[in-house]
Amino acid sequence: MAAPRVLAVINQKGGAGKTTLAMNLAAGLARQAPTVLVDLDPQASALQWAGAGTQAFAAPVKQLAGRWDAASLRRGFKAYAHVVLDCPPSLDSVASSQALRAADLALVPVLPSPVDLWASLRLVQEVDAARRDNPGLRAWLVLNQIEQRSALSAAMQHALAEFGLPLLRAVVRRRAVYRAAALDGVSVYQMGARGQAAADEIQSIIEELPAS
Ligand SMILES: Nc1ncnc2c1ncn2[C@@H]1O[C@H](COP(=O)(O)OP(=O)(O)OP(=O)(O)O)[C@@H](O)[C@H]1O
Ligand SMILES: [Mg+2]
């Protein structure tokens, strides 16, 4: 079987939407091929999310014990087509630096405020540093919690253009259903008609990513 595609969802800024994006992407990818979500955050929010409610989550959610690296991650999860890494809100953890060295793709969710974006600037250096070991790493910003019908401020557009990572075209809007899905222990795909618009935007992100 081919090696899994590893997708890291990373940002040292707390509360940017890493776990929300990682869980919903994992659920969407699991509709296409076997997918595992690896919870690298000691807060274990992804694990708690999967354990909430009564339904099983759409993909297994696992933690890693002990030391690991890109090779052991790929070996350990070779039965899966997609491995989604939910990273902790820190770049100083071994987990974050290993995640950038193991990943084929990195998605960096950011809230649509220049101040939040500036707080994530060090990530660009970390991506560059990781590329010395992992030259194939491709990384994008993903705007999260975009208000319906409100345009990005000129300051935000300027900050995005200067950031040093490309911006994914697909965005994640602010929707109560993202919070409701987490409380129910499911993804937006399992929220029926209420989750349809959110599932569509997660699907757009999946479709915008390169296949391998
Ligand atoms: N698009 C969205 N619409 C509505 N609420 C959202 C959205 N994205 C995230 N949230 C909410 O914002 C909060 C922070 O999101 P989340 O936990 O995914 O961020 P995080 O980056 O993983 O945080 P941490 O840095 O603590 O790991 C959560 O309460 C989540 O439900
Ligand atoms: Mg999180």
Specify the residue with its C-alpha closest to ligand 1, atom 23. Answer: 15
Whether 49 is in the pocket of ligand 1, judged by its Cβ within 6 Å, is no
- Which tens digits make up the pLDDT trace of 3-42? 899 999 999 999 999 999 999 999 999 999 999 999 999 9
Structural domain count, the chain: 1
Alpha-carbon distance of 147 to 152, in angstroms, equals 9
Whether 19 is in the pocket of ligand 1, judged by its Cβ within 6 Å, is yes
Residue 14's CATH number? 3.40.50.300
- Which tens digits make up the pLDDT trace of 109-161? 999 999 999 999 999 999 999 999 999 999 999 999 999 878 889 999 999 99
- Please tell me the predicted confidence (pLDDT) of residue 200: 98
Specify the residue with its C-alpha closest to ligand 1, atom 3. Answer: 174
- Please tell me the predicted confidence (pLDDT) of residue 66: 87
Whether 120 is in the pocket of ligand 1, judged by its Cβ within 6 Å, is no
- Please tell me the predicted confidence (pLDDT) of residue 1: 46
Cα–Cα distances (Å) from 140 to 49, 108, 112, 150, in that order, read: 25, 6, 15, 22
In which band, very low, low, confident or very high, does the pLDDT at 82 lie, cut at 50, 70 and 90?
A: very high
Task: Determine the distance separating the centroid of ligand 1 and the alpha carbon of 177, expressed in angstroms.
Answer: 12
Whether 163 is in the pocket of ligand 1, judged by its Cβ within 6 Å, is no
Task: Determine the distance separating the centroid of ligand 1 and the alpha carbon of 131, expressed in angstroms.
Answer: 28
Task: Determine the distance separating the centroid of ligand 2 and the alpha carbon of 1, expressed in angstroms.
Answer: 31
Instruction: Go through the chain and tell me how many residues it has.
Output: 212
- Please tell me the predicted confidence (pLDDT) of residue 130: 97
CA-based nearest residue to 11, from 84, 152, 116: 116
Alpha-carbon distance of 131 to 154, in angstroms, equals 31
- Please tell me the predicted confidence (pLDDT) of residue 193: 98
- Please tell me the predicted confidence (pLDDT) of residue 149: 78
- Average pLDDT value for residue range 160-178: 96
Whether 178 is in the pocket of ligand 1, judged by its Cβ within 6 Å, is yes
- Domain carrying residue 52: 5-208
0.95 exceeded by pTM: yes
- Which tens digits make up the pLDDT trace of 49-73? 999 999 999 999 999 988 999 999 9
